[in-house]
Amino acid sequence: MGLLAAVLGFVAEAKRDPGHTAELIEGGKACLSPKSHATLWAIVSELLLLVAQLIVNGAARFVCCGGSYRSGWKKTIAIICFVLSWISFLVAIGLFMQGVIKSLQRQKSTDIHDGKCWVSKPVAVNSGIFVGGSFLALTSISLGIIYYILTSEGRKIEKPTRNQNNFAMT
């Protein structure tokens, strides 16, 4: 799901409106930027990233609910991965949200040359904000998986040994 969220973020970047075309309004005296198709892709990407983050952390039982872990460098790396995973997740969601908000803003302009409208979209949408969110989504899920692997190693259940005399122990 995290990989799919990142791919959809790249799709959102490809579908964003570059601001080169717009529709004429007010009898050809002004123009309005078109609706962006990137919005839907970015929202779906956000939702998939949220679900993926919750699945990875739920499977790893979060830091607070995991019980006892082995101490040492693996625990330290696991906690660092956990913290960085959530930081990159929050920044990725923030970038996707910022891109959605900016792409929903329709701008009006009177900049008409040779019968064509030119409307500049906000800088944030044109600067690759969805790509940044996608890379951070990949980072978040990768760190979450490393966290899961490191914490699951510390929770391996040992198989019970049989009583050598075949007597039931009570």
In what helix (H) or strand (E) does residue 9 lie, and over which residues does it extend?
helix 2-15
CA–CA gap between residue 166 and residue 40 (Å, rounded): 64
166, pLDDT greater than 70: no
Residue type at 78 in one-letter notation:
A
CA–CA gap between residue 5 and residue 42 (Å, rounded): 9
Assigned token pair, 148: 């899961």
Q: Which residue has the tokens 């198709």?
A: 37
Q: Which residue has the tokens 């019980």?
A: 67
Question: Measured between alpha carbons, how far is residue 40 from residues 6, 8, 134, 149, 170 in Å?
Answer: 14, 10, 15, 33, 61
Q: Calculate helix-pair angle for 2-15, 73-104, nearest 10 degrees.
A: 30
> Is this structure's pTM higher than 0.75?
no
Band (pLDDT 50/70/90 cuts) for residue 124 is very low
Task: Write the CB contacts of 116 (distance below 8 Å, at least 6 apart in sequence).
Answer: 21
CA–CA gap between residue 29 and residue 108 (Å, rounded): 11
Domain ranges of the chain: 2-153
pLDDT for the residue numbered 87? 95
Q: Which 3 state secondary structure label does DSSP give 167?
A: coil
Q: Could you report the per-residue pLDDT of 64-100, keeping only the tens digit for each?
A: 555 555 667 877 888 898 899 999 999 999 988 888 8
* Average pLDDT of the segment spanning 134-141: 93
pLDDT for the residue numbered 123? 46
Is residue 65 within 8 A of residue 36, CB to CB? The reply is no
pLDDT for the residue numbered 89? 93
Q: Could you report the per-residue pLDDT of 8-43, keeping only the tens digit for each?
A: 888 887 777 665 566 666 666 677 666 777 888 888
> Looking at per-residue confidence, does 159 or 116 come out higher?
116
Q: Could you report the per-residue pLDDT of 143-157, keeping only the tens digit for each?
A: 988 888 888 765 555
